[in-house]
Structure 1
Amino acid sequence: MRHASRRLPEYGTYHPAVPADIADVSLDLKPSVLADAESASREIARFDAELGGEIAPFAAVLLRSESAASSQIENLTASARAIAEAELPGGKAKRNAETIVANTAAMRAAVALSDTIDADAILAMHRALMVNEPRHTPGEFRTEPVWIGGGSTPVGATFVGPRHELIPAAIDDLIAFARRADVPALPQIAAAHAQFETIHPFTDGNGRTGRALVQAMLRNKGLTRQVTVPVSAGLLADTGAYFAALRRYRDGDAAPIVERFAEASLLAVANGRELVSELREIRATWNTVITARSDSAVWKVADLLIRRPVVNAVLLAQELGIESTNAHRYLNPLTTAGIIVEATSGPRNRVWRSPEVLAALDAFAERAGRRRR
């Protein structure tokens, strides 16, 4: 993504996109496309319902996994360990991990604001995403050209975003479409996402904000009620097809992006189920090796490790109310059992991590990024 950081040369021509009005559009889709989207919608809802009373640990894990996958589409990658360390209170973060953590905040904002899909919600998602990127005016629509590909100017770019004067009206039109109740949910979400990417309302973070909007709409339309289905992990399986579908949408054909979302949702659910199964198995195995009284906070720490696989004393105090001076009492039994290992970079920077949980999260990311044959 490029944007105008200085005055553009006055030679050459380019053609900014002109987003079509879609508030009242009728999606013309083949019955087979609609059927696939409906099947995927049922799988999303089924997966959401399957977790039942286990929402607490898995909701956070799936949301972070979606955030990491969405970032990876933009070639922003980091290991599960780096991401978990970046989320620690007072922790030092590597650049990519910090960016992914910000994307997680945008996803949280999207879910929290899902009751009302409007321009303010979109701006709040972007503000959470770009909080550490002030040059990209977090939470504000752009007032300059943006383009994809090409060089230092939009001349010769593969895509040039609409003129910034068109953005407010285009977003209002998109919101009107997103609020309709007469369009099948997943096709509506896919088209709304593609329309958002066509509007390209920000100088940076459009893709990640647009995929956060997907999560807000999944919740708003009732396909998800409790967890984040990592649709971006499904899109990541074939990013070439995803970007091609966005181009086809801009040419007036919505079918490819709907097909891509249906396929991505099925892949995401399958991958999410495998992750949840692995985490359940890991947690059950710990029960056989932990030696602690049934009322000990050691068990609470073990539960916390499933959703926060890297911890420090400050995090235990925040999440479980354990005083920092007592943290070792509950971490030592887990270390002895081989559940966590300690890593230190000085007496005031002691952290503990669960290699098993981190390996499961990295395996999820590897499966998501594996190209389909």
Structure 2
Amino acid sequence: MAQMQWPAIGSEMLPWDRDVDELQLLPKSARRKIRSTYDAAVPLKIAERTIVLPSALTARISELLVSIARFDAEQARRGYDLPALLLRSESSASSQIERLTSSVRNVALAELCEDAPQNARLIAGNVAAMREALASEGDLSLDMILDVHRSLINWSGESFGGELRQEQVWVGGTAYSPHGAQYVPPAWSRVEEYLADIIAFANRDDIDPIAQAAVVHAQFETVHPFIDGNGRTGRTLLHKMLRRAGVLSCVTLPVSAGLLHNIDSYMESLAVYQQGDPVAVVEQLVDALELALVVGRLVAMRIDAVMEEWSQRFTERKGSSIYRLPPLLAVQPVVSTAYVAERLDITPRASQNLVNRACEYGVLRPIGNRHRGTYYQADGLIDVLEEASSLPSIRRMVSTGW
């Protein structure tokens, strides 16, 4: 067993308010487990903690940072927004960790149309949260965390987005009470002080950036400051931390694809972290980033091929509006004529002509129905993203190079 650098999280006994009338509605077996008190976690404060990394892990991080910087610089030379595409892959993988799945097409459609499946809207919220986090400048702050959570939750139609919880939550067990739960986060009255502690740690400049991002994420999951959406918000903060430290300035790596690849190890690392070993989550993030680079490079190669193929199909003179369409599809692979007209600043009629021409070239294909309306999807991009967003495909990429 690894030597623990920090004390393990503690606990405190709190009263559990049992509603007598509600208890009568429960099966006897469930009633017997519900007691008048329960134990909630009391995590360690981390603002001034140090992390000692093994020399082998430090060497891996150094090599990783060089590889990430090289990949990040490559994206600035592309003629389209690869980061927007990888952001979609990241959002889908992060949602799959929470057992939320939907097609890439439906998620893109949900950003344009309210009549989309609920899971698609939830994952579209993850895309919006990622954009919110990456657009924010400067240090981590409470307002920024609340804004990210609000962007995530608003897409689901719920009203608690951006609001810290004011009730006890728990992981695992039953819906009736925290008794028998796998993990019971701290009491809601402690959430604000713990978030302030996380923010203080996150804004230090004397910690390895990969280790810092990993610990911020793990502590955030330990505190569980919201009623729902903690996992997806916490993984979004990983990207904010990497952007703040300058590890990534352009691209968005599908870090959650790396975590999804070995989700049992990911969950185990969080449990080990809570027992006092911060190195476990750092190793897990390094593993995930190494795999994310593999996935990112393979996706980039496939998207480059799609863009090149499209360019070769076009017969219009250079400078024609149709050459402006592929970069737009990289940001939004499902479009409407109204969306194209607005983003390319052309008339509705010109947009319809442009979309029709793209359909003739096989770049776009009409989808939708009379009730929903007509939309158009870029099959070439959708296919690549579907491959990069499923666990079997991610494992195949790693083992075969796609």
Specify the TM-score bucket, using the shorter chain as the normaliser.
Answer: over 0.9
Gaps of 5+ in 2: 1-15, 24-33
How far the C-alpha of 1:156 sits from its partner, in A, is 0.4
Q: Aligned residue for 2:131?
A: 108
- Partner residue in 1 for 2:172: 149
Q: Which of 140, 157, 166 matches 1:117?
A: 140
Residue pair 1:291, 1:333 contacting (<8 A) in 2 also: no
Query: Contact 2:86 / 2:296 at 8 angstroms: preserved in 1?
Result: yes
1:27 maps to what in 2?
Answer: 51
Higher mean C-alpha deviation, range 103-112 or range 44-53: 44-53
Structure 2 CA distance for partners of 1:304 and 1:210, relative to 1, 3 Å: same
| CA apart distance, 1:331 | 1.8
* Mapped partners of 2:55, 2:273: distance in 1: 18
- CA distance in structure 2 between the partners assigned to 1:232 and 1:297 by the alignment: 36
* Residue 130 (1) aligns with residue 153 (2): yes
State the AA in 2 paired with 1:163.
A
1:281 aligned partner: 305
d(CA) in 1 for partners of 2:368, 2:50: 59
Is structure 2 residue 262 aligned with structure 1 residue 238? yes
Q: Given the alignment of the two structures, is residue 318 of structure 1 paired with residue 365 of structure 2, yes or no?
A: no
What does residue range 346-365 of structure 1 map to in structure 2 within 5 Å? Answer: 346=370, 349-365=373-389
1:58 equivalent in structure 2: 82
| Cα distance, 1:132–1:286 mapped onto 2, change above 3 Å | closer
- For 2:49, the aligned partner's letter is V
In 1, the alpha carbon distance for the partners of 2:365 and 2:76 equals 31
1:350 match: secondary structure: strand
Q: Residue 241 of structure 2 aligns with which residue?
A: 217
Inter-partner Cα distance in structure 1 for 2:79 and 2:184: 42
Q: Determine the C-alpha separation between the residues in 2 that align with 1:74 and 1:348.
A: 28
Amino acid in structure 1 at the alignment position of 2:50: S
- Matched letter for residue 120 of structure 1: D
Higher relative contact order (CA 8 A, sep 6+): 1
How far off is 1:5 after superposition? 12
> 1:33-76, CA deviations, whole angstroms, 9 ceiling, x for partnerless residues?
22223322332222211212327521211222211111111111
1:169 alignment counterpart? 193
Instruction: Please name the residue that 1:98 is paired with.
Output: 121
Displacement of 1:28: 2.7
Q: Deviations over 1:175-205 (max 9, x none)?
A: 1111111111101110111001001000100
1:207 aligned partner: 231
Q: Conserved in 1, the CA contact under 8 Å of 2:163 and 2:226?
A: yes
Deviation by residue 1:109-139 (Cα, 9 ceiling, x = unmatched): 1112241211111111111111145656211
Q: CA deviation at 1:206?
A: 0.3
- Name which of 284, 287, 291 aligns with 1:267: 291
Equivalent positions of 1:161-200 (< 5 A) are 161-200=185-224
Pair 1:370-2:392 in alignment: no
Cα 1:125–1:349 change in 2 (3 A) is same
Change (3 A) 1:5 1:34: farther
Alignment of 1:50-89 (within 5 A): 50-54=74-78, 56-88=80-112
For 1:327 and 1:130, how far apart are their aligned partners in 2? Answer: 33
* 1:25 alignment partner AA: R
In the other structure, the counterpart of 1:252 is 276
Most deviating of 188-197 and 8-17: 8-17
2:81 counterpart SS class: helix
Looking at structure 2, the residues matched to 156 and 133 of structure 1 have their Cα atoms a distance apart, in angstroms, of 29
Alignment-mate amino acid for residue 363 of structure 1: E
Q: Aligned residue pairs: how many? A: 369
Stretch moving more, 107-116 or 164-173 = 107-116
Task: Verify the 8 A CA contact 1:48 1:229 in the aligned structure 2.
Answer: no
Per the TM alignment, residue 305 of structure 1 is displaced from its structure 2 partner at its CA by: 2.1
Going from structure 1 to structure 2, the CA distance change for 1:27 and 1:156 (only over 3 Å counts) comes to same
Q: Extract unaligned runs of 5+ from structure 1.
A: none
Asked if the contact 1:310–1:353 (Cα under 8 Å) also holds between the matched residues in 2, the reply is: yes
Per the alignment, residue 7 of structure 2 pairs with none
Relative to structure 1, is the Cα distance of residues 94 and 256 closer, same or farther in structure 2, using a 3 angstrom cutoff? Answer: same
TM-score by length of 1: 0.93
